[in-house]
Amino acid sequence: MTAVASSTEKKQAEEEDELMEYLSPEKTEVFAHLEPWAEANILPLLKPADAAWQPSDLLPDAASLGADGFHAACLDIRARAAGVPDSVLVCLVGNMVTEEALPTYQSVPNRFEGVRDLTGADASARYLLLSGRVDMRAVDRTVHRLIAAGMDAFGVDGAAARSAYHGFVYIAFQERATAISHGNTARLVAAGGDAALAPICGAVAADEKRHEAAYTRVVGKLFEVDPDAAVRAFAYMMRRRITMPAALMTDDGGDLFARYAAAAQQAGVYTVRVAEEDQEDGEGP
């Protein structure tokens, strides 16, 4: 064993020992003590079920419109969808596929020590079906593959993947990126004149902003109550960068996520510059 290899292994062992501290009873108790604060500062961000928007609010309803009215509304959607640029449509599909894999993402916070706890996807999927511009069977297969592949535990493994400190830093950045992506998609389709799609993307973006606000508040509170541990967790995640939850999106062996990211860059939905500002300036949390 070379001196370099020995030094590297020693450093990795020391880092893992440090990460194990985040799974200690002292750290998990931090979140137990934060429960009253969360009830007062996080739960108000949740919308009551009766006040939350539903996909049927933004898309034609056959029951209320009747056969002729529904047919006319669908023709109108198809006519407007014809003007949506291909690159933007690819981003919409990618956004929807990402949201459809929500069950995977929900399972990740449940692995955080000390923390136990689809309208956007539904609306986007229904619009895409009515638009007639995408192969919905292929989209459904992609969703299936992504759920089967799971996610890359936000680019880390071992103790960090179970640490609520590291996890909340990741989710705060991820929700910000998702909100930006949906928001820019809404802006682009509105500029193209699609009055049916723009409100859907805007509503999803607004939901993602509320999610971002919730997780950002949690990270901010961790910096307040346990600054040393919070700073070290933040630095750890920044060194490894933030990978999106749909990074394992594939198309029968092809790297579909890379193509989705390229389309987002081309369309201006989510650019390299935005990603750099997000992570280097630390604006997520």
- pLDDT tens string, the chain, 285 residues long: the values are 565 556 677 677 777 777 888 888 888 899 999 999 999 999 999 888 888 888 889 999 899 999 999 999 999 999 999 989 998 999 999 988 888 877 666 555 655 655 544 677 889 999 999 999 999 999 998 888 888 887 765 555 566 677 889 889 988 988 898 899 999 999 999 888 888 899 999 999 999 899 899 999 999 999 999 999 999 999 988 887 777 778 888 876 678 888 888 888 888 888 766 666 665 555 444
- What is the C-alpha separation between 216 and 163, in angstroms, rounded? 16
Paired residues of 250 in beta bridges: 255
Q: Which residues contact 115 (CB under 8 A, 6 or more apart)?
A: 31, 109, 164, 167
Structural domain containing residue 175? 3-280
- Tell whether 285 is covered by a domain: no
Which pLDDT belongs to residue 114?
A: 57
Which pLDDT belongs to residue 240?
A: 78
Which pLDDT belongs to residue 155?
A: 57
Q: How far is CA 217 from CA 102, 161, 190, in A?
A: 22, 20, 31
- What is the C-alpha separation between 101 and 9, in angstroms, rounded? 36
How many CB atoms neighbour CB 219 within 10 A? 21
Overall number of domains in the chain? 1
Q: Is 144 annotated as a binding residue?
A: no
Q: Is 211 annotated as a binding residue?
A: yes
Q: Which residues contact 272 (CB under 8 A, 6 or more apart)?
A: 265
- Tell whether 205 is covered by a domain: yes
- Tell whether 166 is covered by a domain: yes
Which pLDDT belongs to residue 224?
A: 96
Please say whether the beta carbons of 285 and 169 come within 8 A. yes
Phi, psi of 105 (to 5 degrees): -65, -35
- What is the C-alpha separation between 167 and 256, in angstroms, rounded? 25
Which pLDDT belongs to residue 21?
A: 87
Where residue 34 sits, what CATH number does that domain have?
A: 1.10.620.20
Q: Which residues contact 216 (CB under 8 A, 6 or more apart)?
A: 172, 176, 284, 285
Which pLDDT belongs to residue 266?
A: 86
Q: Is 99 annotated as a binding residue?
A: yes
- Amino acid, res. 221: K
For the CA atoms of 16, 18, 22, 25, the dihedral, rounded to the nearest 10 degrees, stands at 110
Helices (H), the chain: 3-20, 25-33, 35-41, 55-58, 62-81, 86-100, 102-107, 119-131, 136-149, 164-191, 197-225, 227-240, 256-267, 272-280
Instruction: Specify the pTM.
Output: 0.80
Q: Which residues contact 207 (CB under 8 A, 6 or more apart)?
A: 119, 120
Q: What is the DSSP letter of 249?
A: -
- Tell whether 207 is covered by a domain: yes
- Tell whether 132 is covered by a domain: yes
- Tell whether 115 is covered by a domain: yes
Q: Is 21 annotated as a binding residue?
A: no
Burial class from Cβ neighbours inside 10 Å (0-12, 13-18, 19+) for residue 215 reads: buried
Least Cα distance to 145 among 254, 218, 64 occurs for: 254
